[in-house]
Amino acid sequence: MNDNEKYIEEFVNDIPFNAPNEKHRDELKNQLLNTFPKHRLQPTVHTVQVWRTIMKSRIPKLAAAAVIIIAVLAGLPFLSRNGTGVALADVLARIEQARAFMYKMEMTTTVSMMPEMPTRIREIQGTTIISTEYGMKAQMEITDPNTGKTTTQQMYILPDQKVMLTLMPEQKKYMRREFDDDFLARVKREKNDPREMLKRIMDCNYTELGRKEIDGIEVEGFETTDPKFSAGMADNVEVKLWVDVETWLPVLWEIEIKMNEQMEIQCVISDFQWDIPVVASDFEPVIPEDYTALAADGYKAPSLSEEVALGRDKSAATDHYDRGEAHYLDGEYDQAFSELTKAIEIDPRLARAYVIRGIAYNDKGEHDLAIADFTKVIEIKPTGAHAYVSRGMAYKNKGEYDLAVADYSKAIEIDPMVADPYRGRARAYYYKGEYDKAWKDVYEAQALGHQVDSKLLEKLRKASGRDE
Partner 1 sequence: MAISKNENTDFIQRACSDPDAFAQLYLLHYNNVFHYCLRRLFDRHSAEDVTSTVFFKVMHNLSSFDGKVNDFRNWLLRIATNAVNDHLRNSKRRADVIQKVVRNTRAESDFVIPSNDKLLEKKALLKQAILSLKPKYQTVITLRFFENMKLTEIAACLGKNPSTVRSWLSRATEKLRKKLNTATNNGGSI
- The residues binding partner 1 (CB under 8 A) are 2, 4-5, 7-9, 11-12, 14-21, 24-25, 28-29, 31-33, 35-37, 40-42, 49-50, 53-54, 56-59, 113-114, 116-117, 260-262, 325, 328-329, 352, 355-356, 359, 383-386, 390, 415, 417-418, 420, 449-450
At closest approach, how far in Å is the CB of 311 from partner 1? 12
At closest approach, how far in Å is the CB of 371 from partner 1? 16
CB-wise, 33 or 286, nearer to partner 1?
33
CB-wise, 88 or 142, nearer to partner 1?
142
| CA dihedral sign of residues 190, 191, 195, 198 | positive
CB-wise, 94 or 342, nearer to partner 1?
342
Task: Note the residue count of the chain.
Answer: 468
CB-wise, 117 or 280, nearer to partner 1?
117
At closest approach, how far in Å is the CB of 86 from partner 1? 41
CB-wise, 221 or 424, nearer to partner 1?
424
At closest approach, how far in Å is the CB of 333 from partner 1? 12
Say how far apart CA 107 and CA 122 lie, in whole Å.
Answer: 8
CB-wise, 46 or 195, nearer to partner 1?
46
At closest approach, how far in Å is the CB of 446 from partner 1? 12
At closest approach, how far in Å is the CB of 113 from partner 1? 6
At 102, which amino acid appears? M
CB-wise, 56 or 462, nearer to partner 1?
56
At closest approach, how far in Å is the CB of 368 from partner 1? 19
Say how far apart CA 120 and CA 416 lie, in whole Å.
Answer: 42
